[in-house]
C-alpha cells in the first residue's frame, strides 16, 4: 500500500457476483453456444421482464442444449408474448392484500413484507413479474409504515421477508430490519424466502449466518430450488452451512413444464435437498401469471406426479402439492 492512502473497501464477493449477473440475452446465448436466432425473440421478451442470471448458475447449464432445465427457467422466449386465457398480471391477488406499503396480509398470524424489489435471478414464471415494486416497496423509502402495521396488530407472530429477494439486501440493512422486528414483543419468528443460496451460494457467509441466529426471533429460511441440477457442490456447502446454524431450512418448488414435470426429477430433487439439510416443504402449482402459460401443468397431471413421488419416497421427502387462490385463508392442498 502506498503510504498515506486509504485502502478501498471491497464489497463482499457475493455483491460482486450479483453485479456481474448476465442481463443481455445475446451474451447468455453465446456462452451456451446456442442458435443466434434465439437472440431477437429473447430480447423482445426481455423488454417486458428483463433477463438476469448469475454466472455461477449459468455454469451449471449444459452447453448447446436449449432445453436445459435451468436455462428454461431464465431464458426469455417469444412464448411469453402470447395471450393466454385465465392468466393475469396479479394472479394471486397481491395488490388486494396489501394493507400498508409493502405489507401483504393474507393469512392469520403472519404477514409478508416485500423487503426489496431486487432479485439475483429473474425466473420467467415468477408470479410477481409484474408487481409494482417501485410503488409498493417499503425499502425505497423506509420500513416504518410496515413496522408500524406489524406493531399495531398483536395477532402477527411471524413476518415473512420476501420480495424480490431479501438476501439481496446488505447485511446492515437486513440486520436493521430484523432488529426492528425483534423489538416487537408479539413477533416470534422471522421467515426469509430466498433463492440466493441456490443461484448465488456465495451469499451464505459467516456474517449472514450470525445475523440469522443472533436475534431473539426464531429464524426460518425457505429456499427455492426446482431441479436437482441446481444443487451443485457450492450450493450444497452453502445449504449445509445454513443448516448447521440451527435455522429451520425448507424448500419450495414450482411445478414447471419442461423443467421438473416428471417424478424421477422431483424425487431426485427431494433427495438432493435432504442430503444438503433441507426439507421439501411445498410443490406449487404454477400461479397463472401473464407470460408464463407455457410452464403450466394441469391439476390431474400434477396429482399423478405427486402420487408417483409419494409411492417412491418416505413421507418427509414428499412436499405438499399446493395452489394459491386469491381470497382463501390458506394455500389449497391439492395433494
Interface residues toward ligand SF4, by CB under 6 A: 119, 121-123, 126, 128, 163-165, 195
Smallest gap from residue 74 Cβ to ligand SF4 (A) = 9
Quote the least distance from Cβ 43 to ligand SF4, whole Å: 19
- The minimum distance between CB 1 and ligand SF4, in angstroms, equals 39
Q: What is the DSSP letter of 34?
A: -
Residues 151, 155, 157, 163: is their CA dihedral positive or negative?
A: negative
If 0-12 CB within 10 Å is exposed, 13-18 middle and 19+ buried, where does residue 151 land? middle
Q: Between vectors from CA 61 to CA 60 and to CA 65, what angle results, nearest 5°? A: 160
CB of 128 to ligand SF4, least distance (A): 5
Q: How far is the CB of 152 from ligand SF4 (least distance, A)?
A: 27
- Dist CA 230 CA 59 (whole Å): 10
Exposed, middle or buried: residue 244 (CB in 10 Å: 0-12, 13-18, 19+)?
Answer: exposed
Choose between 226 and 245: whose C-beta lies nearer to ligand SF4.
226
CA 64 to each of CA 22, 162, 222, 251, 257: distance values in angstroms, whole numbers, following the listed order = 18, 34, 32, 29, 20
Question: Is 254 in contact with 286 (CB distance < 8 Å)?
Answer: yes
Our CB check for ligand SF4 shows the closer of 160 and 313 to be 160
Rounded to the nearest whole angstrom, what is the least distance from the CB of residue 120 to ligand SF4 in the complex? 7
Pick 122 or 263: Cβ nearer ligand SF4: 122
Cβ(171)–Cβ(215) below 8 Å: no
Q: How far is the CB of 312 from ligand SF4 (least distance, A)?
A: 27
β partners of residue 193: 222
Give the nearest distance from C-beta 165 to ligand SF4 in angstroms. 5
Q: Which is nearer to ligand SF4, 45 or 123 (CB)?
A: 123
Nearer to ligand SF4, 194 or 313 (CB): 194
Q: Which is nearer to ligand SF4, 162 or 270 (CB)?
A: 162
- Taking the C-alpha atoms of residue 224 and residue 216, their distance in angstroms, rounded to an integer, is 25
Compute the least distance from the CB of residue 70 to ligand SF4, in Å: 13
DSSP codes of every residue in 168-210: GS-HHHHHHHHHHHHTSTT--EEEEEESHHHH-GGG--HHHHH
Which C-beta is closer to ligand SF4: that of 112 or that of 181? 112
How many other CB atoms sit within 10 Å of the CB of residue 8?
6
By beta-carbon proximity to ligand SF4, the closer residue of 118 and 151 is: 118
Which is closer to ligand SF4, CB of 127 or CB of 143? 127
> Cα-Cα-Cα-Cα dihedral of 133, 136, 137, 141, to 10°?
130
* Torsion, CA 177, CA 117, CA 120, CA 257, rounded to 10: 120
In 3D, which of 190, 266, 245, 179 has the Cα closest to residue 222? Answer: 190
Amino acid at each position: 500500500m502506498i503510504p498515506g492512502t486509504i485502502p478501498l473497501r471491497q464489497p463482499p464477493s457475493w455483491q460482486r457476483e450479483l453485479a456481474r449477473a448476465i442481463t443481455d440475452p445475446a451474451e447468455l446465448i453465446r456462452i451456451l453456444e446456442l442458435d443466434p436466432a434465439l437472440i431477437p425473440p429473447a430480447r423482445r421478451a426481455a423488454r417486458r421482464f428483463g433477463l438476469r442470471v448469475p454466472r455461477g448458475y449459468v455454469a451449471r447449464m449444459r452447453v448447446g442444449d436449449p432445453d436445459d432445465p435451468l436455462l428454461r427457467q431464465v431464458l426469455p422466449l417469444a412464448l411469453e408474448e402470447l395471450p393466454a386465457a385465465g392468466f393475469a398480471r396479479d394472479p394471486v391477488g397481491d395488490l388486494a392484500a396489501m394493507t400498508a406499503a409493502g405489507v401483504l396480509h393474507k393469512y392469520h398470524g403472519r404477514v409478508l413484507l416485500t423487503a426489496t424489489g431486487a432479485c439475483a435471478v429473474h425466473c420467467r414464471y415468477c408470479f410477481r413479474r409484474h408487481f409494482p415494486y417501485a410503488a409498493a416497496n417499503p425499502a425505497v423509502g423506509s420500513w416504518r409504515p410496515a413496522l408500524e402495521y406489524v406493531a399495531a396488530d398483536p395477532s402477527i407472530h411471524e413476518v415473512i421477508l420476501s420480495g424480490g429477494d431479501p438476501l439481496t439486501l446488505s447485511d446492515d440493512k437486513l440486520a436493521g430490519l430484523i432488529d426492528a422486528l425483534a423489538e416487537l414483543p408479539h413477533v416470534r419468528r422471522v421467515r426469509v424466502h430466498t433463492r440466493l443460496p441456490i443461484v448465488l451460494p456465495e451469499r451464505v457467509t459467516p456474517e449472514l449466518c450470525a445475523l440469522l441466529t443472533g436475534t431473539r426471533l426464531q429464524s426460518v429460511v425457505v429456499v427455492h430450488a426446482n431441479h436437482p441440477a441446481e444443487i451443485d457442490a457450492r450450493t450444497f456447502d452453502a445449504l449445509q452451512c445454513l443448516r448447521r446454524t440451527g435455522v429451520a431450512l425448507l424448500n419450495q418448488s414450482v411445478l414447471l413444464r419442461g423443467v421438473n414435470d416428471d417424478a424421477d426429477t422431483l424425487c431426485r430433487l427431494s433427495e438432493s435437498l435432504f442430503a444438503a439439510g433441507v426439507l421439501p416443504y411445498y410443490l406449487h402449482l404454477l400461479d397463472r401469471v401473464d407470460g408464463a402459460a407455457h410452464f403450466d401443468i394441469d391439476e390431474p397431471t400434477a396429482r399423478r406426479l405427486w402420487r408417483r413421488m409419494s409411492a417412491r419416497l418416505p413421507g418427509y421427502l414428499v412436499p405438499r402439492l399446493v395452489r394459491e387462490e386469491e381470497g382463501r385463508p390458506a394455500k389449497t392442498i391439492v395433494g
